[in-house]
Each structure stands twice: as C-alpha cells, then as structure tokens.
Amino acid sequence: MGVLASGSRESASPDGEADSLVATLFVAEAARLVSLARFFVDDRTAAEDLVQEAFIRLARSASRIRDEDRAAAYLRSIVVNLARDHNRRGLVSLRHRPPAVLDEPSAEETATVRESRSEVVTALRALPRRQRDCVALRCYLELSIEDIATTLGVSPNSVKTHLQRGLRSLAASLEETR
C-alpha cells in the first residue's frame, strides 16, 4: 500500500526514470510546497530549505517508488513532517537565538500574502496539528479528501472529521478578530 517498495533497493525503472520523476515533480510542485511549508514555519528561507530537503529525500528513495501517481502525496507528507520537526526543534532553541531578521518579500510572496490574509494564517497556525494539516492541504493546495488522507497517512473519514472541526474552529477564531 505504500509508495516505496519496502526493503528492496531494486528498481522497477532505471535510475534515469527516477531522476526524471524527481525533476518533473520539482517543476510541478516546488512552488506549491514552499507555500505549504510557509503555513507551518514563519521564515521563507526555512520553508525553502524544508522543500529542498524533501526533494533530496525523495531523490534518495526515487528508485524504490512503486506508484508514481502517489509520489506527489509522498513528497507533501515529507514536507509536512519536516515542518513539524522544524517547529519542534525551534521551540527548544528559540530561547537561545536572537530574533530572526524578517525576510524581504518576493513578488510571488507578496501576491500570496494578498490572497491569504494574515488573520487567516494566524488562525490556521493556532489550530491543533491534525486540523491545521487537513485545512491547509484542502484549502490552500486544493487536495481531495483521498489525497489528504494519503499525504497524512490517515483514513478519509479522519480527514473529514479533522477538516470539519478545523474549519469550524477557524471560522469561530476569525469571527472573534472582527
């Protein structure tokens, strides 16, 4: 059921095809993945680094990918997990580092910020982890319930429950700020 062939280093496709898959996914998904990572981390550079690390990890295991149609979901799950790890490490080291210098926004980021009001992002970040993951993947990447379930490794019914609760909490939080 997994994306990767377990235990086997043998590939059903030559390394050139695996490299091609990674390159194709990079062109198709990199910008969206950076946007996704930005919902979890405050720093654009950190978001870009997380996405780069996700592609490195995908490239290392690309020769073992059994289902190329699910490779994008596998990549999204790597980004979400890396962002969680980044935030966990950040909570520990936050006391010991100077305040971050704000990034100079790019044109793309400026356009993204206009689309996504800061109140929404703040409210989204305040949601419990699973609700935040489901809402971000559904609303910002426009993934289907099945794709979210595949990305997060949970059942579609669990996604529906977390999505419903997250949207309800998000609406209530946004009402309070008005």
Q: Rg for the chain (alpha carbons), in Å?
A: 17
Which pair of tokens denotes residue 147?
A: 């794709």
83 residue type, one letter = A
Q: Is the pLDDT of residue 37 over 50?
A: yes
Which pair of tokens denotes residue 161?
A: 């429950």
The 10 Å Cβ neighbour count of residue 81 is: 15
The 10 Å Cβ neighbour count of residue 78 is: 21
Tell me which DSSP letter residue 65 carries: B
pTM check: above 0.75: no
Return mean pLDDT, the chain. Answer: 79
Residue 96: what pLDDT? 44
Highest-confidence range of 19-28, 72-81, 106-115, 151-160, by mean pLDDT? 151-160
Mean pLDDT to the nearest integer, 32-45: 87
Residue 86 Cα distances to 46, 76, 83, 102, 107, angstroms: 9, 15, 5, 18, 25
The string of DSSP letters for 113-173 reads HHHS-HHHHHHHHHS-HHHHHHHIIIIIS---HHHHHHHHTS-HHHHHHHHHHHHHHHHHH
129-146 tens-digit pLDDT: 999 999 999 988 889 999
178 or 25, greater pLDDT: 25
Calculate helix-pair angle for 156-177, 145-152, nearest 10 degrees: 100
Q: Decide: 107 and 172 in contact? Cβ < 8 Å.
A: no
54-99 tens-digit pLDDT: 999 998 887 787 788 888 888 999 999 999 888 887 644 444 444 5
* Domain positions in the chain: 11-104, 116-178
The CATH T-level fold of domain 11-104 is Rna Polymerase Sigma Factor; Chain: A (1.10.1740)
Highest-confidence range of 10-14, 47-51, 60-64, 102-106, by mean pLDDT? 47-51
Q: Decide: 12 and 66 in contact? Cβ < 8 Å.
A: yes
Q: Decide: 114 and 138 in contact? Cβ < 8 Å.
A: no
The CATH T-level fold of domain 116-178 is Arc Repressor Mutant, subunit A (1.10.10)
CA angle, 74 then 77 then 80, to 5°: 155
